[in-house]
Amino acid sequence: MSGATQRHGRVAFALAVLAVTGCSSFEPSGEHAMTPPAEYREWFAKTQACSGLTGNFDRIKWYIVDGQDFDCPSGKCVGRWNDDHTIFVARAYSENEMVVRHEILHDLIGHPGHPDPPFGNPCPLTWETWHGDDSTVAGPATGRVVAMKHPNID
Protein backbone atom coordinates (compact mmCIF):
# COMPACT_ATOMS: atom_id res chain seq x y z
CA MET A 1 0.00 0.00 0.00
CA SER A 2 1.43 3.40 -0.94
CA GLY A 3 2.07 6.16 1.59
CA ALA A 4 -0.62 8.35 0.00
CA THR A 5 -3.18 5.53 0.23
CA GLN A 6 -2.32 4.94 3.88
CA ARG A 7 -2.67 8.67 4.66
CA HIS A 8 -6.04 8.76 2.92
CA GLY A 9 -7.14 5.73 4.92
CA ARG A 10 -6.08 7.38 8.21
CA VAL A 11 -7.87 10.61 7.29
CA ALA A 12 -11.04 8.68 6.38
CA PHE A 13 -10.83 6.77 9.66
CA ALA A 14 -10.37 10.01 11.65
CA LEU A 15 -13.37 11.59 9.92
CA ALA A 16 -15.48 8.51 10.65
CA VAL A 17 -14.52 8.64 14.34
CA LEU A 18 -15.45 12.33 14.47
CA ALA A 19 -18.80 11.64 12.82
CA VAL A 20 -19.62 8.88 15.29
CA THR A 21 -18.44 10.74 18.39
CA GLY A 22 -19.67 14.20 17.38
CA CYS A 23 -22.89 13.83 19.35
CA SER A 24 -20.94 13.78 22.62
CA SER A 25 -19.56 17.28 22.14
CA PHE A 26 -22.94 18.99 22.60
CA GLU A 27 -23.30 21.04 25.79
CA PRO A 28 -26.00 23.68 26.20
CA SER A 29 -25.32 26.85 28.13
CA GLY A 30 -26.78 27.16 31.62
CA GLU A 31 -26.46 23.47 32.48
CA HIS A 32 -25.93 22.26 36.02
CA ALA A 33 -24.91 18.75 37.09
CA MET A 34 -27.64 17.15 39.16
CA THR A 35 -28.23 14.08 41.25
CA PRO A 36 -31.26 12.41 39.69
CA PRO A 37 -34.29 12.08 41.94
CA ALA A 38 -35.32 8.55 42.98
CA GLU A 39 -38.22 8.78 40.55
CA TYR A 40 -35.77 8.76 37.62
CA ARG A 41 -34.54 5.31 38.68
CA GLU A 42 -38.17 4.09 38.69
CA TRP A 43 -38.67 5.60 35.22
CA PHE A 44 -35.47 3.88 34.06
CA ALA A 45 -36.86 0.52 35.21
CA LYS A 46 -40.18 1.20 33.43
CA THR A 47 -38.31 2.09 30.23
CA GLN A 48 -36.22 -1.08 30.41
CA ALA A 49 -39.42 -3.08 30.91
CA CYS A 50 -41.26 -1.60 27.92
CA SER A 51 -38.25 -1.79 25.59
CA GLY A 52 -36.88 -5.17 26.64
CA LEU A 53 -33.44 -3.55 26.82
CA THR A 54 -31.10 -3.33 29.78
CA GLY A 55 -28.68 -0.62 30.74
CA ASN A 56 -26.85 0.94 33.64
CA PHE A 57 -28.65 3.84 35.30
CA ASP A 58 -25.55 4.81 37.27
CA ARG A 59 -23.47 5.50 34.15
CA ILE A 60 -25.78 8.36 33.09
CA LYS A 61 -24.54 11.87 33.81
CA TRP A 62 -27.56 14.10 34.43
CA TYR A 63 -27.76 17.85 33.80
CA ILE A 64 -30.55 20.37 34.32
CA VAL A 65 -30.59 23.30 31.92
CA ASP A 66 -32.14 26.53 33.20
CA GLY A 67 -35.41 27.59 31.59
CA GLN A 68 -38.22 26.19 29.46
CA ASP A 69 -35.93 24.91 26.69
CA PHE A 70 -32.42 25.23 25.34
CA ASP A 71 -30.65 25.55 22.01
CA CYS A 72 -29.63 22.24 20.47
CA PRO A 73 -28.65 21.06 16.98
CA SER A 74 -32.30 20.45 16.00
CA GLY A 75 -33.55 23.85 17.27
CA LYS A 76 -35.03 24.37 20.73
CA CYS A 77 -35.06 21.27 22.92
CA VAL A 78 -36.40 20.27 26.31
CA GLY A 79 -34.32 17.08 26.45
CA ARG A 80 -31.13 15.84 24.80
CA TRP A 81 -29.11 12.62 25.00
CA ASN A 82 -25.42 12.36 24.11
CA ASP A 83 -23.67 9.12 23.28
CA ASP A 84 -21.32 9.54 26.26
CA HIS A 85 -24.36 8.74 28.47
CA THR A 86 -25.07 12.38 29.25
CA ILE A 87 -28.69 13.57 29.47
CA PHE A 88 -29.72 17.23 29.53
CA VAL A 89 -33.25 18.19 30.60
CA ALA A 90 -34.73 21.70 30.67
CA ARG A 91 -35.60 22.65 34.24
CA ALA A 92 -39.26 23.19 33.28
CA TYR A 93 -39.46 19.55 32.09
CA SER A 94 -37.35 17.89 34.79
CA GLU A 95 -40.48 16.32 36.34
CA ASN A 96 -41.99 15.34 33.01
CA GLU A 97 -41.99 11.53 32.88
CA MET A 98 -42.24 11.31 29.10
CA VAL A 99 -39.32 13.69 28.44
CA VAL A 100 -37.02 12.00 30.96
CA ARG A 101 -37.95 8.47 29.83
CA HIS A 102 -37.52 9.50 26.18
CA GLU A 103 -33.90 10.41 26.92
CA ILE A 104 -33.43 7.23 28.97
CA LEU A 105 -34.63 5.21 25.96
CA HIS A 106 -31.95 6.89 23.83
CA ASP A 107 -29.38 5.73 26.36
CA LEU A 108 -30.75 2.18 26.23
CA ILE A 109 -30.75 1.97 22.41
CA GLY A 110 -27.41 3.77 22.21
CA HIS A 111 -28.14 6.14 19.33
CA PRO A 112 -30.14 9.19 18.28
CA GLY A 113 -33.24 9.01 16.13
CA HIS A 114 -36.65 7.63 16.96
CA PRO A 115 -37.04 4.17 15.44
CA ASP A 116 -40.40 2.47 15.98
CA PRO A 117 -39.92 0.10 17.71
CA PRO A 118 -39.01 0.91 20.44
CA PHE A 119 -40.18 4.57 20.29
CA GLY A 120 -43.94 4.65 19.90
CA ASN A 121 -44.40 0.91 20.20
CA PRO A 122 -43.78 -0.72 22.66
CA CYS A 123 -42.64 2.44 24.50
CA PRO A 124 -45.00 5.38 23.84
CA LEU A 125 -42.32 7.97 24.56
CA THR A 126 -42.96 10.62 21.92
CA TRP A 127 -45.37 13.57 22.01
CA GLU A 128 -47.56 11.78 19.49
CA THR A 129 -47.74 8.46 21.35
CA TRP A 130 -47.61 9.40 25.06
CA HIS A 131 -50.78 8.58 27.01
CA GLY A 132 -49.80 9.96 30.42
CA ASP A 133 -51.95 12.23 32.52
CA ASP A 134 -52.38 15.92 31.67
CA SER A 135 -49.51 16.94 33.95
CA THR A 136 -47.03 15.19 31.69
CA VAL A 137 -48.62 15.12 28.24
CA ALA A 138 -47.84 18.46 26.73
CA GLY A 139 -46.00 20.83 28.94
CA PRO A 140 -43.88 21.48 31.95
CA ALA A 141 -45.00 20.31 35.34
CA THR A 142 -47.83 22.84 35.53
CA GLY A 143 -50.76 20.46 35.20
CA ARG A 144 -51.98 22.31 32.10
CA VAL A 145 -52.00 21.12 28.50
CA VAL A 146 -50.03 23.65 26.50
CA ALA A 147 -51.60 24.67 23.17
CA MET A 148 -48.38 24.92 21.16
CA LYS A 149 -46.15 22.89 18.91
CA HIS A 150 -44.39 20.36 21.09
CA PRO A 151 -40.72 21.18 21.71
CA ASN A 152 -37.94 18.94 20.48
CA ILE A 153 -36.69 16.04 22.53
CA ASP A 154 -33.51 14.67 20.97
Structure confidence by residue, pLDDT tens digits, 79-119: 999 999 999 999 999 999 999 999 999 999 999 999 999 99
Residue pair 106/77 in contact by the 8 Å Cβ criterion = no
Task: Return the pLDDT at 15.
Answer: 30
Stated pTM of the model: 0.74
Task: Report the distance separating Cα 150 and Cα 2, nearest Å.
Answer: 54
Domain ranges across the chain: 28-153
Task: Report the distance separating Cα 72 and Cα 97, nearest Å.
Answer: 21
Task: Return the pLDDT at 2.
Answer: 55
More confident residue, 6 or 31: 31
Task: Report the distance separating Cα 57 and Cα 65, nearest Å.
Answer: 20
Task: Return the pLDDT at 134.
Answer: 38
Task: Return the pLDDT at 150.
Answer: 73
* The listed CATH number (3.10.110, 1.10.10, 3.30.2010, 1.10.8) that belongs to domain 28-153: 3.30.2010
Task: Return the pLDDT at 132.
Answer: 81
Task: Report the distance separating Cα 83 and Cα 102, nearest Å.
Answer: 14
Q: Tell me which residue of 34, 53, 33 sits closest to 45, measured CA to CA.
A: 53
Q: How many CB atoms lie within 10 A of CB 18?
A: 10
